[in-house]
Structure 1
Amino acid sequence: MKTINLVRLSLMLTLVVIMLGAYTRLADAGLGCPDWPGCYGQLTVPNEKHEIALAQALYPSLTVEANKAWLEMIHRYFAGTLGIAVFVITFRCLKEKSLSYGLPITLSLVIVFQALLGMWTVTMMLMPIVVMGHLLGGFTLFCLLNVLYWRLKDREEVEPQSISTSWSLKALSMATLVVVVLQIALGGWTSSNYAALMCTSLPVCQGDWMSHLDFATAFQLIQPAQESYEFGTLDYGARMTIHVTHRFGAVAVTLFTLTLIYQLFGQNRPRFTAAALKVSTLLLLQLMLGVSNVLFSLPLVIAVAHNVVAALLLVSILHVNYLLLTSANQSRTVNDLLDKESLR
């Protein structure tokens, strides 16, 4: 299998892992297995009588919930497969010397750190900062694999297009990317603190919500030690503050992204028009999913889709940045070649 095809497969696998991770978290199965990487000291979920007896001997205070345990283990199986695929990609990129070493090595480092975060998620009993970090790690891996795919694909093009773009568009695109990343982090913080249902009305929150704002507690990244952080430990005011902040973040993302879309359409270039259409579609879908989460009280399918579309929206805006950056680099390369020819 060619390296680029292996990267394609890894991209699909990463999206599946993100989906399974969201489903596991939202189904309250994050502690379905109390240990790592196995489950109750075994490689699979205890099923037979002697396996359940062994599990209860190891963890006498816990009851084996097979449905939650299987969700957790299936997620781990897919994540482990993805890890192997990433290591193979890194090895092949280094062996073929098709790209600089930085990106392939970074991919492997991210997958190792992501595995550690997966372990800490369990051993630290769903500590919010760790859960949020695990989410961001998955999104980071997805972004890096996409960048690798784009670079490998560009190498196969005989004549890559050179497009001159303004610095203002590049700055807007980068700012939009930063705002989307911050909003995803806010979404992870909302989910890991079980704050998704703290406001059940639109557009902001019900009742005298402003009197309950508590930013100091809401965004205390290292929270007081607890036996478990499952189902959240913050009071209503702090959780409501997190939720409201996430909603205002959605407004900021919408404004920045719409401005970027408008500017891309104004370039009148096919690649930018196609990118603008993709970003527009994903933004609209993400807004609809966010509103649906509120109106229908966080249905599991819609909540998982909200995570997946967030990853796709992030990558689509990252692609815009990639197009702008590579276009600028190609333009400089062409100009350098022309200058050298003129000096001969």
Structure 2
Amino acid sequence: MQNLSLTQARIALTVTLLALVVIVLGAYVRLSDAGLGCPDWPGCYGNLIAPTTEPQIASANSHYPTRPVETHKAWKEMAHRYLAGILGLSILLLAILSLRHRAMAAQPRLLPWLLVLIVALQGALGMWTVTLLVKPAVVTSHLLGGFITAALLWILTLRLYSPVLSRYVVAHPDRLLLFCRIGLVILLLQITLGGWTSTNYAAIGCTEFPTCHSGSWWPNMDFTQAFTLWHGIGINYEYGILSAEARTAIHLVHRIGALITVIYLLLLSVLLYRAGRAEITQRMAWILASLLLVQVGLGITNVLGHLPLPIAVAHNGVAALLLLTLLTISWQLKRAYRLD
């Protein structure tokens, strides 16, 4: 039975890594303005693959005259869809395995099927991303759904590994667990805000650091327009529709959120390092602090470098790693021995 659990855990780990790849690829597609590389769904210009030959391109352009084929963008979008489809099938496999081995004492029963439902919702959000012309509320929800999918897959992996791993010795684990869960909420809010910043093309809403524009810390901003979630149907949101003042407002709120997140999670890292008596707990504290500093550096580079694509994509990837790190720490604390 233990070998079976370990095999499932390894499968879950592989699927989690696949989910991280899908998140990073999705960020690359979005940030390279390829989200509408295929104007229809689930195919691409009516085909299962992106058009590449001259006859295919001519046919596609005749059927979609308002959206001429850009082959490189179409292939980016379809690569993301193919990989997301493989991820969905992999999650379904995990759910079927959990059903077949439901008699095992440590077998998660609800979580794999919850993941199946979330992936189905992600498919719908992917469709609406295209049909609603990259509406920010939909794209942000799609992005957040990807992070939640990866997080739940990681939780499933940890639960499947837990019967074969030892516990850890930590002082006051209950108190630290509460602090960690608050940190998770703060980080998820910041990830959501980051998605809103990206999908509204506000990543360079401020062009300087640490000031915003022309040495100003608090320039003219439009907060009402910035956080209006719904602007109606039929609007093409590619490249954004908000005013410069609204984009600046979104960007500055994201900066403030980043400051709060970094301060809180750095404090949590210090508390974890001081409370842990196991080397792995102290190592996780170092990993959390290191990822935070990397993320801050990436964010500043995005502003000063005017959103270089590799840095912007890495910013999304590190956010996902931060989320999984916090979940790992939370799991460790739930299993920790109390040291009084």
TM-score of the aligned structures, taking structure 1 as reference length: 0.91
> What is the aligned partner in structure 2 of residue 310 from structure 1?
319
> Which amino acid letter does the alignment assign opposite residue 305 of structure 2?
F
SS at match of 1:46: coil
> What is the aligned partner in structure 1 of residue 270 from structure 2?
262
Q: Distance in 1 between matches of 2:253 and 2:42?
A: 35
> What is the aligned partner in structure 1 of residue 284 from structure 2?
275
CA RMSD of aligned residues (A): 1.7
> What is the aligned partner in structure 2 of residue 194 from structure 1?
201
SS at match of 1:210: coil
Q: How much has 1:215 moved relative to structure 2?
A: 1.8
Q: Which runs of 5+ in 2 are unaligned?
A: none
Question: Is it true that 1:175 corresponds to 2:182 in the alignment?
Answer: yes
Paired residues of 2:111 and 2:152 also in contact (CA < 8 A): yes
> What is the aligned partner in structure 1 of residue 133 from structure 2?
125
SS at match of 2:208: coil
> Which amino acid letter does the alignment assign opposite residue 219 of structure 1?
F
> What is the aligned partner in structure 1 of residue 239 from structure 2?
231
> Which amino acid letter does the alignment assign opposite residue 308 of structure 1?
G
TM-score of the aligned structures, taking structure 2 as reference length: 0.92
> What is the aligned partner in structure 1 of residue 144 from structure 2?
136
Paired residues of 2:125 and 2:138 also in contact (CA < 8 A): yes
Q: How much has 1:95 moved relative to structure 2?
A: 1.1
Runs of 4 or more consecutive aligned structure 1 residues displaced over 2 Å after TM superposition: 159-168, 207-211, 223-227, 325-328
SS at match of 1:194: coil
Which of residues 112, 121, 146 in structure 1 aligns to 2:120? 112
Percent of pairs with identical residues: 43
Paired residues of 1:94 and 1:104 also in contact (CA < 8 A): no
Q: Distance in 2 between matches of 1:76 and 1:224?
A: 26
SS at match of 1:11: helix
Deviations 1:99-118 (A, max 9, x none): 23211111111111111111
Question: Is it true that 1:42 corresponds to 2:59 in the alignment?
Answer: no
> Which amino acid letter does the alignment assign opposite residue 192 of structure 2?
A
SS at match of 1:212: coil
> Which amino acid letter does the alignment assign opposite residue 191 of structure 2?
I
Question: Is it true that 1:16 corresponds to 2:21 in the alignment?
Answer: yes
Q: Which runs of 5+ in 1 are unaligned?
A: 332-344
SS at match of 2:11: helix
Q: How much has 1:210 moved relative to structure 2?
A: 3.0
Q: How much has 1:47 moved relative to structure 2?
A: 1.7
Q: Distance in 1 between matches of 2:253 and 2:310?
A: 23
Q: How much has 1:226 moved relative to structure 2?
A: 4.5
> Which amino acid letter does the alignment assign opposite residue 186 of structure 1?
L
> What is the aligned partner in structure 2 of residue 27 from structure 1?
32
> What is the aligned partner in structure 1 of residue 98 from structure 2?
93
Q: How much has 1:268 moved relative to structure 2?
A: 3.4
> Which amino acid letter does the alignment assign opposite residue 247 of structure 1?
R
Q: How much has 1:42 moved relative to structure 2?
A: 0.0
> Which amino acid letter does the alignment assign opposite residue 237 of structure 2?
Y
Paired residues in the alignment total: 328
Q: Distance in 1 between matches of 2:174 and 2:202?
A: 39
Paired residues of 2:170 and 2:275 also in contact (CA < 8 A): no
